[in-house]
Amino acid sequence: MRPSLSLTSFPTSIRQRVLALLFILTLAFTVRVLTANFLRAHFEDPSWFQFGSYAVFDARAQGILDHKTSAFWISDPSRTDQIIYPPGYPLWMAFVYAITADRSPASVQKVQLIIDSLSVLLIMGIGATAYGETVGLLAGAMAALSPLLALSGSTPNADAPASWLVLGAVWCLLLAAKRQRIRFAIAAGALLGLACWLRVNPLFLFGAWAIALFLVVKAGRRRRLALSGALVLATLFMISPVVIRNLVVFYPEIAPTGLGIGWNLWAGIGETSRGPEFGAPCCDEQMIEQDRRAMGLAADAPLDLFWPDGIRRDRERGQKALAVIETHPFWFAGVMARRVWGHLKFAGRPAPSVGSAGVNLTSQKCLSPERQGGLLALGTNVLGMAQSVLRYLALPLMLTGIVLALRRDRRMTGLILVTCLYYLATLAVGHSEIRYGLPMQALLFIFAGLTVSVLSDVMTRRWQRTPTQI
434 contacts 148 by C-beta, under 8 angstroms = yes
Beta bridge partners of 304: 307
Amino acid (one-letter) located at 143: A
189 contacts 212 by C-beta, under 8 angstroms = no
Task: Give CA–CA dist 123/439, Å, rounded.
Answer: 10
Domain spans of the chain? 10-465
Cβ within 8 Å of residue 396, ≥6 positions away: none
pTM for this entry: 0.94
DSSP calls for 240-285: HHHHHHHHHHHTTT--TT-S-HHHHHHHHHHTSTTHHHHT--SSHH
**pLDDT given at position 254:** 86
Cβ within 8 Å of residue 140, ≥6 positions away: 24, 28, 120, 121, 123, 124, 127, 449
187 contacts 167 by C-beta, under 8 angstroms = no
**pLDDT given at position 204:** 95
Beta bridge partners of 307: 304
DSSP calls for 385-454: HHHHHHHHHHHHHHHHHHHHHHHH-HHHHHHHHHHHHHHHHHHHHS---GGGGHHHHHHHHHHHHHHHHH
Q: State whether the Cα torsion 371-377-380-385 is positive or negative.
A: positive
Task: Give CA–CA dist 413/404, Å, rounded.
Answer: 10
Q: Which pLDDT tens digits describe the chain residue by residue (470 residues)? A: 455 556 566 677 788 889 999 999 999 999 999 999 999 999 988 889 988 889 999 999 999 999 999 999 999 999 999 999 999 999 999 999 999 999 999 999 999 999 999 999 999 999 999 999 999 999 999 999 999 999 999 999 999 999 999 999 999 999 999 999 999 999 999 999 999 999 999 999 999 999 999 999 999 999 999 999 999 999 999 999 999 999 999 988 888 888 899 999 999 999 999 999 999 998 889 999 999 999 999 988 999 999 999 999 999 999 999 999 999 999 999 999 999 999 999 998 888 889 999 999 999 999 998 888 889 999 999 999 999 999 999 999 999 999 999 999 999 999 999 999 999 999 999 999 999 999 999 999 999 999 999 999 999 888 887 765 54
**pLDDT given at position 470:** 45
**pLDDT given at position 259:** 86
**pLDDT given at position 437:** 96
DSSP calls for 191-217: HHHHHHTT-STTTTHHHHHHHHHHHH-
Cβ within 8 Å of residue 219, ≥6 positions away: 180, 227
